[in-house]
Amino acid sequence: MTDLVKDERQNKTGASSGPGGDPGASRHVQLRDADDVVLSVEDLVVEFGVGGGSTVHAVSGVSFDVRRGETLGLVGESGCGKSTTGRSIMQLPKPTSGSVRLHGDNLGGMPSGQMRRARRKLQMIFQDPISSLNPRRRIADIIAEPLRVWGSSPDARKAKVAETLEAVGLDPQLVADRRPHQFSGGQCQRISIARALVLEPEVLICDEPVSALDVSVQAQILNLLEEMKERYQLTMIFISHDLAVVRNISDRVAVMYLGKLCEIAPAVELFDRPRHHYSSLLLSSIPSADQDATTSAARLDRSGGEMPSPVSPPSGCRFRTRCPAATERCAVEEPLMRQVGDGHFVACHHPLEVAEVVASGAEGSVERSADGTPDGALRPVALEGV
């Protein structure tokens, strides 16, 4: 899973091999042609009309691929299009343009019957575990519903439900006949996970699955997702605004801003050496023991934290209105994805040098700490390794 760069040389650079063959194909530079790519998203565009002739550019040309067994983290601020990206992979709603391929089959071009069958392999978990379960149905029925739709026999359903409940750490005997309101948020999220897994999907899209949960319960769910990924050989897309959570669960992380991908890199690499100014801003915004770091994060951002409207996004690089390094070029020319390291891609005309990243104070949020404790870990030194 960590061997992500093996086939990098075969990427779809240039007009010759890129689908469509247009100059924009170099946006897909980070895509890989490897056989084990399960899900491939190319040039995904999602736009919503909002009346008065204006359009919300929610997702504007996002491309990425996900390998079998890989977890791709999708981070960004609210309104950056990360949830829309997740949903349009499920074709809910269908993207305005671009393609989503599952094992090479374009989901967008499928007739609805075929699409329904394909969707078995794609499942989703949502943020609010309680409202995503029907309060009037029993847990066993909620989890069995997908099986019923696909016509398995009552006995097979019962066995499968019990097995899945067991897998997510719930006792089928105690749980099956109850209803969602009898469970806590964490337990409801376990039930949601069971419902998503009961059809044995290949790809699990998690949209902020732990944001509504308390820290102690969040850790349980994150560990469970890792376990389920292992057990069911899942490929995951993990959407979250919580950077620490994403760093821990993802193999690779993609940073989104205003409908575009800024940077995509292996998780630890991205957090240690962000090259896009937006990634760096995000990371230095994580509260740290050292107030200087937070202060400098706030100063890095020239806009007071305001994201421009997705109705009329800035020309060129969409981050330029907040970027400390923006030049005239950024206003006229949209930066394309290019490789800056092993599996590390960035869409920026003036990417941060590794040394600069340190100087900008971003390092304060991940390494420095007033009392010498590794700040990010929050763990007291005395307890390390106990």
Partner 1 sequence: MTSIDAGPADQRRDTRPPAAGSAQTTAPGATATRPLLEVDQLRVHFATPAGLVRAVDGVSLSVRAGEVLGVVGESGSGKTVMSRRAMGLVGPGTTTRLSGTVRYDGTEISALPPAELSKLWGSEMAMILQDPMTSLNPVKRVGEQIGESLRRHLGLDRAAAHQRAVQLLRSVGLSEPERRVRQYPHELSGGMRQRVTIAIALSCDPRLLFADEPTTALDVTVQAQILELLARQQAEHRMAMMIVTHDLRVVRGHTDRVVVMYAGKVVEAAPTRTLFAAPRMPYTEALMNAVPPLTGSNHAVLRVIPGRPPNLLAPPPGCAFAPRCASAQERCLTEMPPLRSAADLAGASPGGSAAGAPAGGPAPAIAGTPDDHVYRCWYPVGTEAGDEARRTNIERGHTAAGTPILAEAV
Fill in the per-residue mask, 139 to 178: x = in contact with partner 1 (CB under 8 A), - = not in contact. Answer: ----------------------------------------
CB 18 within 8 A of CB 25: yes
User: What's the farthest any 2 CA atoms get from each other in the chain?
Assistant: 67
Residues 237-256 that bind partner 1 (CB under 8 A): 241-245, 247-251
At residue 303, the 3 state secondary structure works out as coil
Of 222, 325, 331, 336, the one binding partner 1 (CB under 8 A) is 222
Fill in the per-residue mask, 2 to 31: x = in contact with partner 1 (CB under 8 A), - = not in contact. Answer: ------------------------------
Distance CA 206, CA 129 (A): 12
Distance CA 218, CA 339 (A): 34
Q: Nearest distance from residue 126's CB to partner 1, in Å? A: 18
Of 77, 128, 334, 363, the one binding partner 1 (CB under 8 A) is 77
Of 262, 294, 330, 362, the one binding partner 1 (CB under 8 A) is 294
Fill in the per-residue mask, 349 to 368: x = in contact with partner 1 (CB under 8 A), - = not in contact. Answer: ----------------xxx-
CB 348 within 8 A of CB 317: yes
At residue 89, the 3 state secondary structure works out as helix
21-29, 45-53, 129-137, 302-310 -> range binding partner 1 (CB under 8 A): 302-310
Distance CA 294, CA 276 (A): 18
Inter-axis angle of helices 185-197 and 154-167, nearest 10? 130
Residue holding tokens 């499968």?
160
Tokens of 192: 């949601």
Residues that bind partner 1 (CB under 8 A): 77-78, 184, 186, 214-220, 222-223, 226, 241-245, 247-251, 267-268, 271, 281-282, 284-292, 294-295, 297-298, 301, 304-307, 365-367, 370-371, 373-383, 386
